[in-house]
Structure 1
């Protein structure tokens, strides 16, 4: 039997021999599912009256025979039900927010049985120790975890800190049996600028035939061609049917993103609904990332299949996009992705092809969930990855006081100074704006115009660097975070230096996460004790903690998704103005605007 997920590709000789003999009637099946309607993702057809025989953890036979049934064979009658393969998430960020075990408890009952997860966040938080921690905590889970290994974090080493993984560490992780791709290349500008450190890692990955995840947000046709030459094999950043068509036409596997950050299924589905002859084999679906609330209410991949069907994609096609297409892209279609001999018996029992939430979920030949509930919940046995394990660049070398947030002015008291500010446009996009701010006691003050200060640990670690932002909506004393993508340098926003110091120091005391302070009082906090970016609690507890903070912010005028906005404040991989450990940065001009 398979001893761990690292042995996905290996059969011991006894299991190998038994699989061969079951269809011949020489060895009896352990289980047989009878009278099923089979959603055959290989042919795109539905077959009726099908039996599926299982030996150990794998499917041994699919057809109409029953000559492999013995007295000890368990018979599962599937009359009236439809069998589909377990759903696959082909581009996920499960190294951030909810921990993988808590995530498994929530999404496995709704049919997601395999995930290909990025490791950029855990790498930025904990370096190699974080990647190993992720692999360790998912080793024996019923939900199969495969990995993308980060080649570039931080995105801009010259202003955000040194690379988190050495070439040797990168190579070691990429050769792990469950590592099948390189994490999305958010730092694609470095690749186009011929950065030898990054290209050396990508060249190695190409040399051992690993996938390279793309991040082609806003790319022109010429740039996208160049990125294909860099080596990208997929992209999840399409926001129109035209984007999907363009990527597929260049040989890039395209994903329909439909999650908490962006939900574009309705627009993207038109590439199929308006052109029924479009070849869908290169199409997949991903939430990219789901918030704790969306995990609890939407059930992960089944939600994407539901909405794909709602927007006109044929049900079998939608299921193919969530199963075999992803498995073939990942290069694991001989073990998952379809209901066929030799594949793991990851099988969903559906009431109808148009109702993708399963009534039963089978993993490795065992029924693990019924009617949306796990038969046995997994204990949260998690690694200890506290602040002592954080990447050194994230932890200041000094005790933070209110004075560290002062922004000194050269103008005289009573005058106004024009300063660049980062203006929030939506959850992920910002732009450059300016504000005229008053000078008092030799400092630039945050007064009027929806202005907040934003302060981050400097790249030197021996001070804070501060700038200004507008458009967040909520006028608050302080909100501190250690979860901002991708390098996770702790930062705090607010309009009161004393509150900001209290929030920042409390953030470090609790091991990272989120801390809200207003009027000198800690109003709420959400500990994320695994590297300061991941909760050690169940998804419901994480959701409740975050909702208290989010509700407080929205009551005070914050716009939709204020915590997602916080997470992207330092993400230099998206336009246009970002806070960095070196100061306020213009992604387009590649210049520090204020520090």
Structure 2
């Protein structure tokens, strides 16, 4: 077990009383006080990992006290990402810390859910030990359940009510992570018990309520959900605020909601800002390297009309208060972690220096901290138990005798990321197998269980929107389940792609005409790597360019493909169980049984 309380409490009391000299002081800066909404000259004293004084710190200086002169700069609290699936970056915890700390992100709220489903609690303990050794803080919310899918798919480890009874008592747990509204609406027994345990343990419930309004919103609030990061427009967000929710504006690598949702402040009521914070949800290395992380969101908010002090509050204290961790982080205040940024210009928000847990990480725009990943155990390195597949395994079979059939294709909605609409397509049938159609942009999509829990036979459907003209692509990093997901124009290339991941311990791969064109190895749980962030960004760019050459014009074809397993967002998904109807919460046959669809994309015709 790890704990954030490293220092002895009596020692900290003495340090706050100036009976023990500070290790570090910052002088001559202008403090951005997010508690009082003021900016004024003040110095800061740090002892070990904590801030012990602000204002006049002359009495805290000793013979060994280090001094940083912040003349002409602003002293800003470290930034907090209020909801993040860290594993989607494909970077290990150490590599991810190296990527985001220079951008001012010193704390993250995460469920570590993809580590959970691939490596279980033993793996999580190893990851928590790794986190503890970096300057980055991760406030872990135990996932409300795993997997998140309805109906339940097969994963490496299931979080159940029994898990919550034990693990909610761990010191690393700060809440119940991403409680999907459908599970509350259905009163899922394990989820109800998890919420009851949270009440006993006084832990907040973190929500996931996309497009949730009216009676459904009232229902999840009555269950105790405290906050949500899934508003699809500012009116939805406004209703959630009016009903007492803390809301988080999401701006990820593929879902861009900040410009829309910040209108609750800039267009409706600026006094709402203290109920609003920021998150990135899912980010990739190339986005961080090229555009920034939480610092990017601060700049975007300012560009959209939010004043700099308010934007900084949204990126720091607001998240801390929403998650009930403001006694630890969120402001430059005595007793809090020494997470401090020196910023040259609040509008441009260019970060000069980063201190996290009292350690100097970035100085004069240069990373000075040494990030060294730990040795990995077999718990994290041997999660791929995927059986080989053949081209014949990857097919949509039908007993329809006509030469063509109507089928459902999962059509990616470029305007609303993650959302897959249903598209009706007419496809040829050969020897009882429904064929993909490149010209009609209807290709195969499959998910294969990779933890050795089932027979591992692929479940196959169709997808549209990728415009793939040849070949196949596959990934073992694919939330929420991290089973292997693959799309392709033909079964032979898809089988090669899937088997390549099985043979090489996981990753992302693109195949054409039987040849592997690009492969990114993700050996840790089959989902992340210890690659340097810049190296990871370069590898992502290589795969992107290969996908472009094969016809894909989505902003990030592999990332969009990986999201096909998410059943919590309408209208359709695909898991190792098959094609999933979000509204029915059931597996469905992607082939229509007759031409009569009554204007609805649903194969259950009784004619």
Q: TM-score, normalised by structure 1?
A: 0.92
Tell whether the 8 Å contact from 1:33 to 1:52 is kept in structure 2 after alignment. Answer: yes
- For residues 59-458 of structure 1, what are the structure 2 equivalents within 5 Å? 59-64=51-56, 66-96=58-88, 97-156=90-149, 158-161=151-154, 164-186=158-180, 188-275=181-268, 277-384=270-377, 389-390=382-383, 395-396=385-386, 398-412=387-401, 415-426=403-414, 427-447=417-437, 448-457=439-448
Matched position secondary structure for 2:351: coil
Partner Cα distance (1:365, 1:492) in 2 = 44
Q: Relative to structure 1, is the Cα distance of residues 525 and 313 closer, same or farther in structure 2, using a 3 angstrom cutoff?
A: same
Structure 2 residue aligned with 1:564, among 559, 563, 567? Answer: 559
Q: TM-score, normalised by structure 2?
A: 0.90
Q: CA RMSD in A?
A: 2.3
Q: Provide, for residues 244-271 of structure 1, a one-character-per-residue CA deviation record: whole Å limited to 9, x for no partner.
A: 2221222211111112121222222222
Structure 1: which 5+ residue stretches go unaligned? none
Partner Cα distance (1:232, 1:544) in 2 = 40
Q: What is the aligned partner in structure 2 of residue 543 from structure 1?
A: 537
Partner Cα distance (1:218, 1:382) in 2 = 42
Q: Relative to structure 1, is the Cα distance of residues 348 and 520 closer, same or farther in structure 2, using a 3 angstrom cutoff?
A: same
Q: Relative to structure 1, is the Cα distance of residues 70 and 371 closer, same or farther in structure 2, using a 3 angstrom cutoff?
A: closer
Structure 1 residue aligned with 2:8, among 8, 12, 26? Answer: 12
1:195 shift after superposition: 1.3
Query: How many residues in Structure 1 have an aligned counterpart in Structure 2?
Result: 581
Matched position secondary structure for 1:504: helix
Tell whether the 8 Å contact from 2:478 to 2:565 is kept in structure 1 after alignment. Answer: yes
Partner Cα distance (1:473, 1:70) in 2 = 65
Deviates more, 1:539-548 or 1:160-169: 160-169
Tell whether the 8 Å contact from 1:301 to 1:322 is kept in structure 2 after alignment. Answer: yes
Tell whether the 8 Å contact from 1:8 to 1:335 is kept in structure 2 after alignment. Answer: no
Matched position secondary structure for 1:259: coil
Tell whether the 8 Å contact from 1:121 to 1:485 is kept in structure 2 after alignment. Answer: yes
Q: Provide, for residues 411-457 of structure 1, a one-character-per-residue CA deviation record: whole Å limited to 9, x for no partner.
A: 45x81122222222224121222222222234222234122112222
Matched position secondary structure for 2:82: strand
1:168 shift after superposition: 3.3
Q: Relative to structure 1, is the Cα distance of residues 45 and 552 closer, same or farther in structure 2, using a 3 angstrom cutoff?
A: same
Tell whether the 8 Å contact from 1:395 to 1:461 is kept in structure 2 after alignment. Answer: no
Structure 2 residue aligned with 1:496, among 490, 495, 499? Answer: 490
1:21 aligns with 2:17: yes
- For residues 522-537 of structure 1, what are the structure 2 equivalents within 5 Å? 522-537=516-531
Partner Cα distance (1:453, 1:95) in 2 = 26
Deviates more, 1:466-475 or 1:317-326: 466-475
1:157 shift after superposition: 6.1
1:53 aligns with 2:42: no
